[in-house]
Structure 1
Amino acid sequence: MLYYLKQVSLSRGSWLLLLLSCLAFEATGLYFQHVMKLEPCVMCIYERVAIAGVALAALIGMVAPRLLLIRLLALAVGLASAVKGLLLALQHTDYQLNPVPWNQCPLMVEFPSTLPLNKWLPQMFEAYGSCSEIQWSLLGFAMPQWLIAIFIGYILVLGLVLISQIKPSRRQRTLFK
């Protein structure tokens, strides 16, 4: 299995698939916000940025997937973003399941002054909802609970691909060449 994962990581198609999954989740979030009129909270925006980080990792991996350094950089960025996203989704779930006055998210998003995403793209990165309010659920699970599963999936896949990078490639037999 590790050999297969390493071979898959050498192709642009696998990184494109990762990028497409991230774009699908981002598009779903924007659909919820702009079509279904659900109000994104600060944690929703931070989780959205974490998925964008995984998408950035996919773009890095697509640049030159056959170069080990590029693959390792892409995997590091993707894993870091997925782990941060998981931690954010867990905290968001805590806000929703334990809504008390001293367990609340900030009122406004806080991005670095060098990367003010909420100023550059307010339609995508501005928050105006409450973190403790459950606005949507599917099969009894709220949105941050689904994000926990999504980020765990990304961590598992990217982690296995990272482990597969230490697996040496199989050499072709040259007995009859």
Structure 2
Amino acid sequence: MLRKLKHLSQHRGAWLLLAAGVLILQLTALGFQFYLGQKPCVLCVYQRAALAGLLLAALIGAIAPKTPLRFVAIVGWLIAAGKTFSLAWEQTQLQLHPPLFATCDFLPKFPQWLPLNQWFPVIFTPTGNCTDKGWEWLSMTMAQWLVGTSGVLFVIGLLVLAVQLPCPRKNRS
């Protein structure tokens, strides 16, 4: 199975499948915003940015999956999935245990060299509150679903990284 996973990581189709999955997550978030009236908070906006990083990593992996560029993509995958998990976890904690007075920021703090909220204000401008649960399905909020999804993506990324390492040969005596 591990050999199969390594084989898949060296094919463009697997990377494009990852990219398609992340794109579906992004489009779902936008659908909730524009068609269901859910207002994204600053943590939601940061999660979108982290998922955009995961999409970028998947596209980098798809460019040349049989070259060392694949390792750059895997590391990007792990960083983006880990950041998405961390942000979704933080939002979940705010939703489950809302503080009495604290709220989240009203404006995102992106680096000066990457002002996503200025370049794509429709996607990266927060209008909601981090403690609002909004939509739920099977008693779980969108942030809770993203904790699970990004956690699974992180574990898969770890497995993909692990299978890239050469395995020691057993001596046959």
TM-score scaled by structure 1?
0.91
Kept in 2, the 8 Å contact 1:3–1:167? The answer is no
1:33 maps to what in 2?
33
- Mapped partners of 1:94, 1:13: distance in 2: 36
1:61 maps to what in 2?
61
1:77 maps to what in 2?
76
Structure 1: which 4+ aligned runs deviate by more than 3 Å? none
Kept in 2, the 8 Å contact 1:6–1:167? The answer is no
1:44 maps to what in 2?
44
Q: Deviations over 1:41-80 (max 9, x none)?
A: 000011111111111110110110000x211100000100
Q: Deviations over 1:73-103 (max 9, x none)?
A: 0000010011111111110011111112354
Q: Deviations over 1:10-33 (max 9, x none)?
A: 100000000000000000000000
1:149 maps to what in 2?
148
Report the AA paired with residue 49 of structure 2.
V
- Mapped partners of 2:93, 2:101: distance in 1: 12
SS in 1 for 2:130: coil
1:173 maps to what in 2?
none
Report the AA paired with residue 156 of structure 1.
V
CA RMSD, 1 decimal: 1.3
1:132 maps to what in 2?
131
* Structure 2 residues without counterparts, runs of 5 or longer: 168-173
TM-score scaled by structure 2?
0.93
SS in 2 for 1:106: coil
Kept in 2, the 8 Å contact 1:9–1:161? The answer is yes
Report the AA paired with residue 151 of structure 1.
S
Matched positions, count: 168
Report the AA paired with residue 42 of structure 1.
V
Identity, % of aligned pairs? 40
